[in-house]
Amino acid sequence: METPRRKYDSLKRAAQALETRAEIARAARKLFVEQGWTATTVRDVAREAGVSVPTVYSVYGNKTGLALAVADSADLSADGPRMVEELESETDPARQLAAMIGYDRRLYERSGDVIVLMREAGRVEPELANVYGEGRRRGDETRIQVFSGWPRLRLDIGTAVDVYAALCNIDVYLTLINERGWSADRVEQWWNEVLTRELLVGGPP
């Protein structure tokens, strides 16, 4: 029978392993964003995280594996389950639209740097280009599914998805925040006003 001390030792090792993974991922995100994908090496990440190079390889495999972990952390930061819960609990299209916009605002606010990183790194790393493209496709699929249930959609579904993507994206967000001095709240409010008007029959003039 396992003694309590051994059981707790096992839990402690597991917690330490998770913390090591998280520390490496944080270091990778910091350096990829500051130095760029190409200029950052696994050795740089190991040094920043305070671990050995073999530890990085054993945890994430290679540099691409590190970037994939950073991308996963970006998705988690936006709280997808919250959006799904809001979509399921609301039947009003305007409120469902607000739920999707709220998710995108959280994603761009908390992990916009990662999205830009993945897009730029994808120019030289096909696997990362696929990750970036898959994220875009998932977003489109969510909108198609939601828009399909709206009886008063102003546009055909394909065009509605295109309009949403043209307005509610990382480049518009960063332009308004960094160049025009908007707050994230103001961006979200504007997206709600414009997309409600453009997509929904009976929306504000």
Q: What is the mean pLDDT of residues 176-186?
A: 97
Phi then psi dihedrals of residue 166, to 5 deg: -70, -30
For tokens 């051994």, the residue is 6
pLDDT tens digit string along 89-142? 988 999 999 999 999 999 999 989 888 988 888 888 888 888 888 888 989 999
State the pLDDT at residue 2. Answer: 52
Whether residue 190 contacts residue 204, with contact meaning beta carbons closer than 8 Å, is answered with: no
Q: What are phi and psi of 200, to 5 degrees?
A: -110, 130
Strand partners, 200: 153
Model pLDDT for residues 58-86, shown as the tens digit of each residue:
988 888 888 888 877 777 677 888 898 89
Residue 152 has which token pair?
């008063």
pLDDT the model gives residue 114: 87
Query: Can you tell me whether residue 61 is helix, strand or coil?
Result: coil
Between CA 147 and CA 99 the distance in angstroms is 13
Euclidean distance between CA atoms 125 and 133, whole angstroms: 12
For residue 15, pLDDT beyond 90: no
- What per-residue confidence (pLDDT) applies to 145? 93
Range among 5-19, 75-89, 134-148 with highest mean pLDDT value: 134-148
3-state secondary structure of 200: strand
Q: How many Å apart are CA 180 and CA 17, to the nearest integer?
A: 43
Query: Which of 1-10, 95-104, 135-144, 194-203 has the largest mean confidence?
Result: 95-104
Predicted confidence at residue 175, as pLDDT, reads: 97
Give the least confident one: 5-9, 29-33, 77-81: 5-9
Confidence of residue 199 (pLDDT cuts 50, 70, 90): very high
- The 3-state DSSP class for residue 153 equals strand
| Contact status, residue 22 vs residue 73, Cβ threshold 8 Å | no
pLDDT tens, position by position, 51-60 = 999 999 998 8
Q: Which residue has the tokens 């699929």?
A: 141
The DSSP code for 179 is: I
Contact 100, 86 (CB under 8 A): no
Which residues on neighbouring strands pair with residue 172, listed in sequence order? none
- Mean pLDDT confidence for 44-48: 94
